[in-house]
A and B are shown apart, each in its own frame.
Chain A
């Protein structure tokens, strides 16, 4: 009798305490499969934020490319886009709408992440080299700095989205490595300018890709293909 009473009381106490704790937990933090740490921003908000940032990066890179083209590439025939390829070309990114539609969002997201990661290094060096470029207009330099920062931010956001959409997925996909630093630092001014031109052109293209893929994912996941 006593024992049952004691155990009963203990159980009751345990229940009460657990209830209190659970209630508090319910009230304070939303339920989230990945634990309380990652559930502070909803997926919709994450996507909205990511789309905004990717759009911003695309704007900046377009402006930077146009600025560079106007200043350094006019009349020099830097039509190198036909010749040189971007370092991210090896990634199997969808090239049209049908392909994109058929690509699973996981793949798309990992592709986005790969692109973002592969641009970390080139962006860093781009800022350094543009600073060193004599007579570099502030428009190009400031945008380069901004893009580098936003790229990191977008990467973080994408990783969070990835963690939420595909919980438990591993993010160990290899990403292409950029090796165009020597061409940026070459003494030959024309060659150097050509390298810059190519890099900026590739940046513009890849930012457009990222932007498009993200918007696609946003409409698909959040709005259910009804943007």
Chain B
């Protein structure tokens, strides 16, 4: 142990890092490396030192000591490992045994180190590096190869004395940087996807497993492939995006076409739902376009619901309702409904009851009404006024309300201005009549109305009680003067004697009254052409004239008409004032007698007769 203690002292005194191999400034020899290639032998090397020339050859000695030997021994072999080396063969090598070596120069220790053999294992490079072709790609651009080698021959791998680990490096010929693969335990490794037109280099090195130091690299192996046919092939298979897009679009287009032109309406509806166009049930929009009001009104008249709705929202109705004293009338509903309904008695009664007050007379015969009454005419003061949008053609010519008559002209004027258009429905030519265009006449009417108090009942509505088959509109007197409206009601029951006073606004009046009126008739605007002159407020025109005169402000036309068979028919001559229509001579033949007896209706031709 003394020797070991001495050794330890030397070791402690010396450099702490036994394997550092730091440069000695004195130029003495130093150990460079000790190495065992196969865990069976080892060798140590040292440098000569700078002062080599000063030293005599052979003065440098190396001694070693082993724990079990306990004495320094000199190097057994200075030659086998080369110059400045000491080689320890297997007999001198003891694994797992600590060794210490020292270097002396001229008797003086210049270096020493301690180690164990299993810590200095550094195998030789592998041998037999070669490669074989595994396969070539179809494109003849890439190839796979298998690189093989043999372990260092001096390592006894078969016995398992040393377990080796290999590391392969490779690169292309013109590259400078080596690429390395992961360590392997086997002596062969495949390399995939090498390019046939390039050359590669590989090298391999090994180390004992569990150690850190690799041995030296093997010789570099050059891999070159025999020249293939240099066909100009596409290097990479490009996914045919272009084709896919084209086919996709084509498919979509074909599908769309099939859908659009398919007879399967269901699918079509599902995929391309039709855009709803604005329409009214049962009405062809083309009718409206062409202005065929008659058909439209006809169709509309069928829909009773529509009337109800309209009446509910009708401002005319509201206005008229204000003027009506009788609350019963309000609750009765629309005049049109009353007219249309079979409840003539009721309405008549109402009218009759009102005779005293409002002078309201029903202006229609029930039969006629039922027969072909399209338009809802109300003699009721609360009659709804047809509005332009009401294509039903309800003529809202209501008999003048007495109240209205009594009202101030302004009041009369007001409703007049608010009177909606009267729409007379003719079978063939429905056309809305805009009463609004009769402002001028309104004024005239206004003035006219003011004159005769009896005639001041400017109820600007005359109710169209019926439409004759010939197409003429039967008007019934509207709200009547208190002074005594001639009973516009042609109903025998309700026929009231015409009174001297006749309703100015109402187109219906007795001949007598008409005469009177005519006599009294002031100037009537030529436009209005109100021969009867009762029409200051209301201007009625036949439907025939309507067609021609509608829209024209007050162009009056004489429509010579034959006698109206029914006395209560009066053709509407013109729609002038907002208040009403100009009654024209109806086309309906009407015996004078009957006419006169009816007392409420005057045809224009009769009027013409009457008039000078």
Contact = CB atoms under 8 A, between A and B. Distances in A.
Interface in A163-220: 205, 208-209, 211-212, 215-220
B348 to A, nearest CB: 114
B209 interface: yes
Given A212-B161, A220-B160, A225-B159, A96 B95 contact: yes
Nearest to A62: B210
Given A58-B210, A205-B118, A77 B11 contact: yes
A62 B213 CA distance: 14
Contacts of A79: 8, 11-12, 16, 18, 114
Contacts of B27: none
B239 interface: no
B98 A97 contact: no
B97 A81 contact: no
A74 B18 CA distance: 11
A225 B159 CA distance: 5
Given A95-B94, A97-B39, A226 B156 contact: no
A81 B98 contact: yes
Interface string B1-12: 000110110011
Given A81-B98, A83-B5, A211-B210, A96 B160 contact: no
B114 A82 contact: yes
A98 B90 contact: yes
Contacts of A96: 40, 90, 93-95
A216 B161 contact: yes
Given A81-B116, A82-B4, A220-B160, A95 B97 contact: yes
Contacts of B96: 93, 95, 205, 208-209
A219 B158 contact: yes
Contacts of B12: 77, 79
A7 interface: no
A128 interface: no
Nearest to B160: A219
B100 interface: yes
A74 B12 CA distance: 13
Interface in A75-128: 75-77, 79-83, 85, 93, 95-98, 100-101
B159 A219 contact: yes
B395 to A, nearest CB: 106
B137 to A, nearest CB: 36
Nearest to A214: B160
B254 interface: no
A80 B18 CA distance: 12
A208 B118 contact: yes
A97 B90 contact: yes
Nearest to B12: A77
Interface in B45-69: 67
Nearest to A207: B210
Contacts of B39: 97
A216 B159 contact: yes
A55 B11 contact: no
Contacts of B100: 82
A95 to B, nearest CB: 4
B194 interface: no
A220 B161 CA distance: 10
A55 B209 contact: yes
A98 B92 CA distance: 12
Nearest to B99: A82
A227 B116 contact: no
Contacts of B163: 215
Contacts of A216: 159-161
Contacts of A98: 90
Interface in B125-160: 156-160
Contacts of A220: 159-160
A95 B94 CA distance: 5
Nearest to B156: A97
A78 B341 CA distance: 127
A41 to B, nearest CB: 21
Contacts of B95: 95-96, 212
Contacts of B209: 55
Contacts of A83: 4-5, 8
Contacts of B158: 219, 225-227
Contacts of A77: 11-12, 16
A216 B90 CA distance: 18
Contacts of B210: 55, 58-59, 62, 208, 211
Nearest to B114: A82
B159 A227 contact: yes
Contact of A81 (B5, B16, B40, B114): B114
A169 to B, nearest CB: 22
A198 to B, nearest CB: 12
In the complex, which of the residues B7, B114, B159 has the most CB atoms of chain A within 10 Å of its own CB atom? B159
Contacts of B118: 205, 208, 212
A216 to B, nearest CB: 5
B159 A85 contact: no
Contacts of B157: 227
A82 B118 CA distance: 15
Interface in A57-83: 58-59, 62, 74-77, 79-83
Nearest to A205: B96
A41 B94 CA distance: 36
Contacts of B116: 81, 205
Interface in B206-221: 209-210
Interface in A33-53: none
Nearest to B163: A215
A208 B163 CA distance: 12
Contacts of B7: 82
A94 B257 CA distance: 91
Interface in B79-111: 90, 93-98, 100
Nearest to B18: A79
Given A75-B16, A79-B12, A85 B160 contact: no
B168 to A, nearest CB: 21
Contacts of B16: 74-77, 79
Of the listed residues B5, B12, B95, B114, the one surrounded by the most CB atoms of chain A closer than 10 A to its CB is B95
B8 A82 contact: yes
Instruction: Please indicate which of the listed interface residues B8, B96, B118 has the most CB atoms of chain A within 10 Å of its own CB.
Output: B96
A160 B39 CA distance: 29
Interface of A: 55, 58-59, 62, 74-77, 79-83, 85, 93, 95-98, 100-101, 205, 208-209, 211-212, 215-220, 223, 225-227
15 contacts: A62-B210, A77-B12, A80-B8, A81-B98, A82-B98, A93-B96, A95-B95, A96-B94, A97-B159, A208-B118, A208-B210, A220-B159, A220-B160, A225-B160, A227-B157
Given A96-B95, A208-B118, A217-B160, 10 more contacts: A77-B16, A79-B11, A83-B4, A83-B5, A93-B96, A100-B161, A212-B95, A215-B161, A220-B159, A227-B159
9 tightest CB-CB pairs across the interface, nearest first? A219-B160, A215-B160, A95-B94, A79-B11, A227-B160, A77-B12, A77-B16, A216-B160, A97-B161
